[in-house]
Amino acid sequence: MYDPYNILGSAYLFNAEPEHLNNVYNEESKEQEPWKDSPGEVSTYDWRDYLGDPRYQRAYVDFFEDELVLNGYDWRKVLTTYLFAGKEPLINNLISGLGHPLIHLGYAYELSSRDIAMEALGMAATSYNHLHKYLDDPSYNKPTSNPSKSPLELLCRLQKDSRFDNVVSDAGPENLTPLFENHESLMLEYWNAWQITDPTNDFRASQMAAAALLVATVKPGSGAKFDFFLVHTLTTSHAVRILLPLLPAKYHIPLVRQWWLLTLSVYIAQLRPEILLSSVGGFHWKGRGWAWVDKRAVEGKHSLDAHFVKGLRAMKAAKATWGDKEGFYLKAAVRFGEEFDGWAFGKNSVEGAARQ
């Protein structure tokens, strides 16, 4: 349900030609699953009763689209009503499903699309899971003995933490739920270790960490592929960047902390690859600039790969937001654009996990 809009939006924002947009749509349409009827309808009286049940995907989207009509097509009003309602609001569980509800919501605002917005709500509803409790219940917010203001520093510390050596044996998304079931205290130790005291600069640091997780975890010349699941830490970070100026202030830090929880869990699930910053900092772009990146995104041989295009788009947007004095984002984008040759999935994963 999500990839056609996401890659179409990214390609559009890269100023792709109409012919390429048609090619993107036709290619992505081949892989979409047909709608399935839900067991029943969803109403204003029971809409929370079916949260987390993917069988109600169509019912939820139909319901939110009906609400859109009743609210005079004011999609922002519908989002406000259903994202922020109640003691356990949907806004606190956007990272389920590898963060796709968050990514979709970001594109809804970035493209000002009511259709994408209603699908984002439907995705958030059917992906709803246990992760909401970490944001809804303040008892999970506990001080740690070794805090840091740098998410990248914490990730490097995590990579060397031997307590995680036998937590998972093979990379893959199937590790995510057991991580919280069996190692919650360790997860929360690192989750609470990031001290957000200067929200703007701290979020800036998190965007750099997200780009590093994708690009700097692959050794140059190794022939290894970039990690499909780690790219989601970057594309969700991009969505957070879009949403922060648009959401009520009280949700800003919780949303960033949601991203951090997803990032930690995915990094551990993917066996904590070493982050080699020198592989980006020492990379020479050989005169290739952002125009080269743009062309790679819409004319390169991987221009129909949704997550490849979204990754490039996220790095370009980060550069536009924070500047790039040392050229980190440009180096990362050029290296990614040059060396990308398909995705690495977990040993026990299949490419179909891309549609989760």
Q: What is the pLDDT of residues 112-138, one digit of tens each?
A: 999 999 999 999 999 999 999 999 999
CA 99 to chain centre: 5
pLDDT at 348: 41
pLDDT at 349: 40
pLDDT at 169: 85
**Contact between 213 and 279 (Cβ < 8 Å):** no
Angle (CA) 277 345 295, round 5° = 65
Average pLDDT over residues 211-218: 97
- 157: exposed, middle or buried (Cβ count in 10 Å: 0-12, 13-18, 19+): middle
Highest mean pLDDT, choosing among 12-26, 29-43, 207-221: 207-221
Among residues 134, 138, 141, which one has the least CA distance to residue 96? 134
Structure tokens at 143: 């001080």
Higher pLDDT among residues 182 and 34, named by residue: 182
The overall average pLDDT reported for the chain is 91
Structure tokens at 99: 């963060």
Alpha helices in the chain (DSSP H): 3-13, 18-29, 57-70, 75-83, 100-111, 114-127, 132-136, 151-160, 176-182, 184-193, 199-215, 231-243, 252-269, 278-281, 290-299, 306-322, 328-339
Residue 194: strand, helix, or coil:
strand
Q: Is the pTM of this model over 0.95?
A: no
How long is the chain? 356
CA 290 to chain centre: 23
What is residue 245's DSSP assignment? T
pLDDT score of 96 more than 60: yes
User: Tokens 């893959």 appear where?
Assistant: 172
Least confident of 102-106, 140-144, 185-189, 190-194: 140-144
For residues 252 and 246, what is the distance between their CA atoms, to the nearest angstrom? Answer: 9
For residues 174 and 219, what is the distance between their CA atoms, to the nearest angstrom? Answer: 25
Average pLDDT over residues 330-340: 96
User: Tokens 């792709």 appear where?
Assistant: 16
What is residue 33's DSSP assignment? P
pLDDT in tens, 284-310: 888 899 999 999 999 999 998 989 999
Helix (H) or strand (E) holding 344: strand 343-344
For residues 312 and 246, what is the distance between their CA atoms, to the nearest angstrom? Answer: 23
For residues 330 and 234, what is the distance between their CA atoms, to the nearest angstrom? Answer: 15
pLDDT score of 161 more than 70: yes
**Contact between 126 and 58 (Cβ < 8 Å):** no
pLDDT score of 9 more than 90: no
Structure tokens at 106: 């970001």
Amino acid at 46: D
